[in-house]
């Protein structure tokens, strides 16, 4: 019998507090609706052919008025068109884009989610207590450009990879672990949801806040992606930042119990910045596992 993964109890307690404080999380069935449809099949590595097990988009409804009424989402959405899609192409950051980065960080730092995360990180000696210095630390973790593709100069950053998505030489999708970006790209008809990914004993439902899925983006297939659904940008930044700062390992995999979800949160470093980060759903209390 497989051994159950050890749950990080201290981190689980912190993340459950962030979950309770996440007042900007959207409610499934009310603020948004998803349509899971069929279970996605196997896709060979490097292949862009996949049988589509979903005839319609994942998101059948999102209350965009509510999204745009909340500052963190509004500023988050403004960042999504700031990046070159392909690695190997150096990013050119305008003064307007720098201002948009700053406005987003200012907005999330005003939330109780980020205030609690900051307090916790200060208590662990992992963040400066000064708010301006903490903001600079967040900037370096998420927005500092680095060289992901050796041919491309400064062509990537943590925010782009995790929240926006990028491609490797226009042949492979990397990142794109955010539900708002996924929804907006679906709306533009450049993302095609292909079905959910799950074990036979762990079928997802429309109310789940964590989902593994298969999709294509501008003609390229991602065989398996994973993301939170409905949670706020500040919750994701807080969670991934905390796990990033708790270890200097290149890859950190942390098992936590958040609300009804048993998750493995994966965070990979790229020097002093995030390379990638995403949640993997291990189990959910609302199903018999």
Residues with catalytic roles? 161, 177, 222
CA angle 32, 34, 36 (to 5 degrees): 170
- CB 229 within 8 Å of CB 210: yes
Residue with tokens 């949160």: 265
- Rounded CA gap, 178 and 229, in Å? 8
Alpha helices in 6-111 (DSSP H): 9-21, 64-69, 71-79, 95-109
Q: What tokens does 250 get?
A: 């290149």
Please, what is the angle between helix 71-79 and helix 233-245, to 10°? 70
């Amino acid at each position: 019998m497989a051994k159950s993964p050890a749950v990080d109890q201290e981190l689980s307690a912190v993340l459950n507090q962030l979950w309770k404080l996440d007042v900007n999380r959207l409610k499934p069935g009310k603020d948004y609706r998803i349509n899971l449809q069929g279970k996605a099949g196997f896709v060979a590595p490097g292949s862009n052919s996949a049988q589509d097990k979903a005839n319609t988009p994942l998101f059948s409804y999102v209350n965009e008025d509510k999204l745009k009424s909340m500052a963190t989402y509004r500023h988050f959405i403004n960042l999504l068109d700031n990046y070159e899609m392909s690695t190997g192409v150096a990013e050119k950051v305008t003064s307007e884009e720098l201002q948009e980065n700053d406005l987003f960080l200012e907005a999330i730092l005003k939330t109780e989610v980020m205030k609690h995360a900051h307090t916790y990180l200060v208590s662990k000696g992992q963040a400066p207590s000064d708010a301006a210095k903490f903001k600079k630390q967040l900037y370096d973790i998420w927005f500092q450009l680095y060289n992901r593709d050796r041919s491309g100069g400064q062509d990537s950053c943590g925010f782009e990879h995790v929240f926006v998505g990028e491609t490797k030489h226009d042949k492979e999708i990397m990142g794109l672990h955010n539900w708002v970006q996924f929804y907006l790209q679906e709306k533009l008809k450049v993302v095609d949801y292909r079905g959910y990914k799950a074990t036979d004993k762990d079928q997802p439902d429309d109310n789940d806040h964590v989902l593994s899925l298969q999709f294509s983006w501008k003609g390229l297939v991602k065989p398996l992606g994973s993301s939170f659904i409905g949670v706020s940008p500040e919750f994701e930044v807080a969670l991934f930042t905390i796990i990033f700062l708790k270890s200097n390992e290149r890859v950190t995999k942390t098992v936590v119990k958040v609300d009804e979800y048993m998750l493995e949160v994966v965070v990979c470093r790229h020097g002093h910045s995030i390379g990638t980060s995403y949640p993997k759903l291990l189990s959910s209390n609302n199903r018999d596992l």
